[in-house]
Structure 1
Amino acid sequence: MPYDLIDLRLFVAIAEAKNLTRGAERMHLAASSASHRMRLLEESLGTPLLIREPRGIQLTRAGEALLRHARQVLAQLEQMHADLTPYAKGVRGHVSLWANTHATHTFLPDSLSAFLKRHPQVSIALEEHTSPEVVMAVARGEVEVGVVAETVEGAEVELIPYRADRLVLIAPSDHPVAQRTSTPFVDVLDSPFVMLHSGSAIHTFTMNTAAALGRHLEVRIQVRSFEAVCRMVSAGVGIGLVPRSAVAEGSTRNPLTMVELEEAWAQRDLKVCVRKQALLSRFASDLVACLTKSV
């Protein structure tokens, strides 16, 4: 059956207010008109949606299901409107880009700034995810372009070199770890760590790596950027694991020492990930060309 968007919005308003009259007021409708619309909706669905009580309404099981779906439909409509609005303002292209924490916080800001200056008619939706999540989203066709530091075995994607980098430990110059030039990761797991926030790709990677060694990482504090990690480490809060490119000289009050990790996974060469270059949209193809032109 066709669904009337006004009826869906009215139903959500009534359900959230738990009162037909107040819900009708939100939609600028008379209570009698709102009640009539709800009865017609119930008749068309063949099941009651509202339990009318003296002090308000309760939802039936069918009403709860409709509320869940109606919210999703209305949210998708709002997202559609947000996606289409730029076209009315002269933006004629849109590219979805997923990237891991490393790329998002280090190289991509400059790369995307350069791209958008050359292509003012394009907008980019950038989301941060773990490398495996990015690879699988690209392989499924959900995202056109990704930037990753590792791939997933069996995933049918193409990888193009983007930037070379390496994860390093950082510590205050007077910390015992700073006296080494290199170390296995397992040897520093007794130290408290400064980490990016839970849910960030590098946080997930680091915690999983420690768990694979049968250890639990002591996270003393979580912050929102690599710059904040460096500052906290400089202040003596703990040690950190960051890309070498994220450590800027002179950016902290106290000098930081970088210690090499001996594991192969510390080499974090970033790659642009696409399903098939030949099938990219024009603007996605332009973005890939811009990201990889200096390789």
Structure 2
Amino acid sequence: MRYELTDLTVFLAIADEGNVSKGAERCHLAPSSASLRIKNLEASVGVTLFKRHARGVVLTAAGQVMREHAKRCVAQLEQMHADLEPYSQGMTGHVTVFANNNAISTHLPDDLARFFMAYPSVRITLEERLSHDIVGAVVDGRAEIGVVALESEHPDLDFLPYRKDQLVLLTPNNHLLAKRDTISFASCLGQPFISLQSGAALHTFLMNHANALGGRLDVRVQVSGYRAIARLVASGAGIGIVPRTAIERSDRGRLAIVDLDEPWAIRDLRVCIPKHPSEKNVYRDKLVDILCRANARTASTVS
């Protein structure tokens, strides 16, 4: 198949405009040049991509398939250029970090800010994953550092203490559960919940625990962050479970915070790294050092 990236760009422009002339204009080409590129593209892939009519063109069924693939190809190339740009501007290193939602929403932003102050020319790719998936990614080399809330070990990884946190129940101040000092998770299951969106680590974690108890989480609203949970709970829309460190001071007066009487409510966040990394990355080591020093600062403050 012999066609160029420009041919795909022209094809997408014409498909978006529904008109050869307008699509050609977007690509700074003459209509005849654009038509020739489409003709050559159709010959190369062996299918007709457009149906011509008096007012312009429409995609054929094959053209619809081509459009979806072409959009992904062009988007991927744009991402490649975006990823390469920092190198042209003097980027000296890169670190890939996978972390659970708890760490990303609470502790990591401040710790990454300290890292960037020390190493401003380094870039970090940060992705949210479930803790079990993070361990697999670090073992496979898809992530250089993981931040997880797991007690289990892995023979190929070192686990270093990062932060301690606690999952707590949020209720409106006038809620029937608000006067409790502690509560079991099972006692919460009859209430409507405000939850993170499906796929978020905490959402999956709580759904699985509810299922293990033979119940289900009655999710009334799903939101994208802990602050939104707190605000909806304060409004009386339901109850929610969040890490204690995610509760902002401005929300504390409008909410009741009840300890969960569950062993899993205490969250020991840990940094996991390969015992024998395949490649040396000094900036990965520098970031791990900053994360572990954050744990030391927290421990000394508590003591």
TM over 0.5, yes or no?
yes
CA deviation after TM superposition for structure 1 residue 197, in Å:
4.0
Match of 1:92 in 2: 92
Match of 1:141 in 2: 141
CA spacing shift, 1:124–1:50, aligned 2, 3 Å: same
Q: Distance in 2 between matches of 1:38 and 1:16?
A: 14
Q: Is structure 2 residue 43 aligned with structure 1 residue 49?
A: no
Q: Distance in 2 between matches of 1:58 and 1:148?
A: 50
CA contact (8 A) 2:180 2:258 kept: no
Match of 1:176 in 2: 176
Aligned partner of 2:272: which letter?
Answer: C
Aligned partner of 2:53: which letter?
Answer: E
CA deviation after TM superposition for structure 1 residue 154, in Å:
7.4
Q: Is structure 2 residue 256 aligned with structure 1 residue 269?
A: no
Secondary structure of 1:278's match? coil
Q: Is structure 2 residue 33 aligned with structure 1 residue 33?
A: yes
Secondary structure of 1:272's match? strand
CA deviation after TM superposition for structure 1 residue 236, in Å:
4.1
CA contact (8 A) 1:98 1:128 kept: yes
Q: Distance in 2 between matches of 1:255 and 1:70?
A: 50
Q: Distance in 2 between matches of 1:111 and 1:153?
A: 24
Q: Which moved more, 1:146-155 or 1:29-38?
A: 146-155
Q: Deviations over 1:203-260 (max 9, x none)?
A: 2322332233232323344444334433443454433211122245564334633323
Q: Which moved more, 1:196-205 or 1:3-12?
A: 196-205
For these two proteins, the number of residue pairs brought into alignment is: 294
Q: Distance in 2 between matches of 1:48 and 1:173?
A: 65
Q: Distance in 2 between matches of 1:235 and 1:24?
A: 53
Match of 1:191 in 2: 191
CA spacing shift, 1:63–1:212, aligned 2, 3 Å: same
Q: What pairs with 1:228-267 in structure 2 (closer than 5 Å)?
A: 228-248=228-248, 251-254=251-254, 256-262=256-262, 264-267=263-266
Match of 1:5 in 2: 5
Secondary structure of 2:241's match? strand
Secondary structure of 1:164's match? strand
Q: Which moved more, 1:145-154 or 1:96-105?
A: 145-154
Name the % identity: 46
Q: Deviations over 1:253-277 (max 9, x none)?
A: 3463332322x32222112233445
Q: Which moved more, 1:188-197 or 1:72-81?
A: 188-197
CA RMSD of aligned residues (A): 2.8
Tell me the TM-score normalised to structure 2 length: 0.83
CA contact (8 A) 1:99 1:128 kept: yes
Q: What pairs with 1:6-155 in structure 2 (closer than 5 Å)?
A: 6-150=6-150
CA deviation after TM superposition for structure 1 residue 185, in Å:
0.8
Secondary structure of 1:16's match? helix
CA spacing shift, 1:183–1:25, aligned 2, 3 Å: same
5+ unaligned residues in a row in structure 1: which ranges? none
Tell me the TM-score normalised to structure 1 length: 0.85
Q: Distance in 2 between matches of 1:256 and 1:97?
A: 34
CA contact (8 A) 1:277 1:285 kept: no
